[in-house]
Structure formats: structure tokens, C-alpha cells
């Protein structure tokens, strides 16, 4: 894997910034290797709920919203084997009920992850794409949220025209065919946490960010939905305020949700489990291929059957954008990672090179 320090564009930065950036990439890469990831959000959709509420699960079908997987625009990558690639989107749409998420218009993907389930369903490789990644996005036809022209832009803006355009952008960036998408919105995220009676986190230091409405002390604590969302969103309370820095908080929050959902706190209480499933299905927008309880349940069953040590998470290898040091582009190492995914080969050896 090529480290930023070997890249000519990186060498143009001042030494102090080089040192900070290199340390940050090493720390993040080590932290996320072989770790449970946001991919497991799919696993907590498991429909194998306690027997007492199985009959009620069918009623959750009405909660699920769907939209087309594809819009016209870029060329669809070839599907080489029977692997499955799911694009997971965390949406910061401003058309929600809450008033605490900022004052911008439209929607952007606050988190974007390409999750690859191997052909034999024995392995998951997931790559998180920084929202500040600059790409040449193809034109995208209208699927209900408007059309967009070809343009140079941050990849997170593709969601303004709907998830189909995010699919097109992700395929353009990665060369990986997307078979499904799952989008979770901000209000839904908070509702899921509240349905679990909160999540438990342990903070090394106090975190404060007025822009994210975040004010948390250090130590172990239980967070409600609003605070959990603020923790996942904050940029200014961690590191250098970049999207890369806050990915650690996003993973911590998601891991806490997964732990809580799988715990006896939830599983032993049919009413709590139903509230959780109701919150999850109400918070999702999926492609038409996943628009049923049985389809989501089948995907969840596949994901949950993958051993934890066979799940690899990586941040897309990146480097500063040549025209804007506050943005990033994929580095040469990213091509190797995405090529491995396309060939249905493990990425762990590629990301393990950084420690």
C-alpha cells in the first residue's frame, strides 16, 4: 500500500502537516483492521426475532421505502462472480422532522460504505469512502429527486438527486458494481438508538461541538438518539476537524448499536425488539430488490452468518486533492483495493500493510 509520504503531491505539503496526516492514516488504518463495521447494521435487521412477535413482523413491510437502484449515466461495471455488493448510505437530508441537524438544504451522504459479500458468503470486505472525496461524477437522470449534469464535485453531493445517483457515483469512483443500496436517515438513526433505550459509549475525553449540538463528558455513559447522532456527526470536536477524523466516532457509535441490539437487553424483551425493528424499517430507504421483509431478512441472515474475524473494514486509501488540500482523492493504493473487491479477493493483506 502506498503511504501518503511517498506521493509527490503529499511531499509538497509542509513537514508538520505531513507528519500529522501520516500519523492519522496509520492510526486509523490500525484501528479499523478486522473490526466490526457499519456493515453489521444490515445484520441487526435480522428477522429471526422472538417467536412471540414473529406474526407482527409482517406488518413492518409497510414501513419500508424504496426507490430505483440505477439511473441513466455512467456505464455499469460487469458482474464477474456471484458476489454481492451493497452501498450503505447515511443520509443527512434536511427534510426531516428534527431541527437539530443543521441549516443546509438538500441531502448528502454523511457516510458511504461499499460492502462486499464474497461469492461463497464466507467473507465481508467493506470500504468507507470519505465524504470529501472529489470525483468527476457522470450525469444522472431523474429517478424522482431531479437530474444532475456531469460535474466535478464531492461524492457526498450525489445524494441530492437520490440514492440511484449515489450508486452511479460510487461505481464511477470504485469500478465496483453495486447490487443493492441501503440508506438510513438522520432522524431514523436517532430513533433506532432511542428504541434500544440508548447506547453505551466510553469517551477518552470530553467532547464539545456547538455546530453538532454536542456536549459530552469523558467516561462511560449512556447516550440517547440525539446525542449519539451528534457524536457520530461531529467534525470539530475530534482531530483536525476533517471527515477522516470523525470516522472513528462513527464506528464507535455503530458498534455500540450492534452490541445493544444483540444483547439480552433487547433480545429478551419482545416489545423492545419490535420497537427496534419498527424503528429500523421505518428509517430505511432501499432499492426495489430489497423492498420486502423476506429480502432484508435473507440479506441479514447472510451477513450475520459471516464470522466476525472474516469481516475486514478499511478506509479508502486517499491523498489530498491537488486543487484543494481540504478535499481528498483516491490514492494509487485505492485501485488495488477496489480491483481486489471486483475480483472477489480479500483486501485484508492490502490494508494490513499499514500498522
CB-CB contact of 137 with 158 (8 Å): yes
C-alpha cell at 38: 457499519
How close are the terminal C-alpha atoms of the chain, in Å? 11
Low-confidence ranges of the chain (pLDDT < 50): 1-24, 26-55, 94-105, 352-355
E strand map for 62-166: 65-67, 84-91, 109-117, 124-128, 134-137, 151-154
| Strand 199-203 versus strand 207-209 pairing type | unpaired
Structure confidence at residue 38 (pLDDT): 44
Structure confidence at residue 94 (pLDDT): 45
Nearest Cα to 61, choosing from 248, 291, 306?
Answer: 291
132: three-class secondary structure by DSSP: coil
Structure confidence at residue 300 (pLDDT): 78
Considering the entire predicted model, what is its pTM? 0.76
Nearest Cα to 38, choosing from 96, 100, 113, 102?
Answer: 113
Structure confidence at residue 259 (pLDDT): 80
Nearest Cα to 38, choosing from 297, 254, 258?
Answer: 254
Structure confidence at residue 42 (pLDDT): 47
Backbone angles phi, psi at 109, to 5 degrees: -85, 110
Amino acid at each position: 500500500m502506498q503511504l501518503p509520504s511517498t506521493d509527490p503531491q503529499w511531499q509538497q505539503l509542509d513537514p508538520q502537516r505531513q507528519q500529522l496526516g501520516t500519523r492519522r492514516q496509520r492510526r486509523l488504518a490500525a484501528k479499523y483492521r478486522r473490526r466490526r463495521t457499519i456493515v453489521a447494521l444490515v445484520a441487526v435487521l435480522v428477522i429471526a426475532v422472538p417467536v412471540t412477535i414473529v406474526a407482527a413482523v409482517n406488518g413492518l413491510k409497510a414501513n419500508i421505502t424504496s426507490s430505483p437502484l440505477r439511473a441513466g449515466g455512467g456505464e455499469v461495471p460487469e458482474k464477474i462472480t456471484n458476489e454481492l455488493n451493497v452501498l450503505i448510505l447515511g443520509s443527512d437530508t434536511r427534510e426531516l422532522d428534527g431541527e437539530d441537524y443543521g441549516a443546509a438544504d438538500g441531502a448528502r451522504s454523511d457516510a458511504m460504505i461499499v460492502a462486499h459479500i464474497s461469492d461463497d458468503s464466507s467473507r465481508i470486505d467493506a470500504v468507507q469512502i470519505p465524504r470529501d472525496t472529489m470525483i468527476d461524477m457522470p450525469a444522472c437522470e431523474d429517478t424522482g429527486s431531479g437530474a444532475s449534469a456531469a460535474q466535478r464535485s464531492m461524492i457526498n453531493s450525489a445524494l441530492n438527486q437520490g440514492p440511484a445517483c449515489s450508486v452511479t457515483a460510487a461505481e464511477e469512483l470504485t469500478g465496483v458494481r453495486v447490487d443493492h443500496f441501503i440508506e438510513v436517515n438522520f432522524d431514523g438513526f436517532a430513533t433506532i438508538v432511542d428504541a434500544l433505550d440508548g447506547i453505551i459509549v466510553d469517551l477518552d475525553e470530553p467532547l464539545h461541538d456547538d455546530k453538532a449540538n454536542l456536549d459530552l463528558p469523558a467516561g462511560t455513559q449512556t447516550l440517547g438518539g440525539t446525542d449519539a447522532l451528534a457524536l457520530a456527526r461531529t467534525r470539530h470536536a475530534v482531530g483536525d476537524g476533517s471527515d477522516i477524523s470523525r470516522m472513528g466516532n462513527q464506528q464507535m457509535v455503530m458498534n455500540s448499536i450492534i452490541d445493544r441490539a444483540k444483547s439480552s437487553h433487547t433480545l429478551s424483551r419482545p416489545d423492545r425488539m419490535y420497537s427496534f425493528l419498527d424503528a429500523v424499517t421505518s428509517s430505511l430507504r432501499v432499492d426495489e430488490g430489497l423492498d420486502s421483509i423476506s429480502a432484508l431478512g435473507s440479506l441479514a441472515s447472510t451477513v450475520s452468518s459471516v464470522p466476525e474475524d472474516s469481516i475486514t473494514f478499511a478506509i479508502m486509501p486517499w491523498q489530498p486533492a491537488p486543487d484543494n488540500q481540504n478535499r481528498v482523492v483516491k490514492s494509487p493504493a485505492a485501485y488495488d483495493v477496489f480491483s481486489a473487491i471486483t475480483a472477489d479477493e480479500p483486501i485484508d493483506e492490502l490494508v494490513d500493510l499499514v500498522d
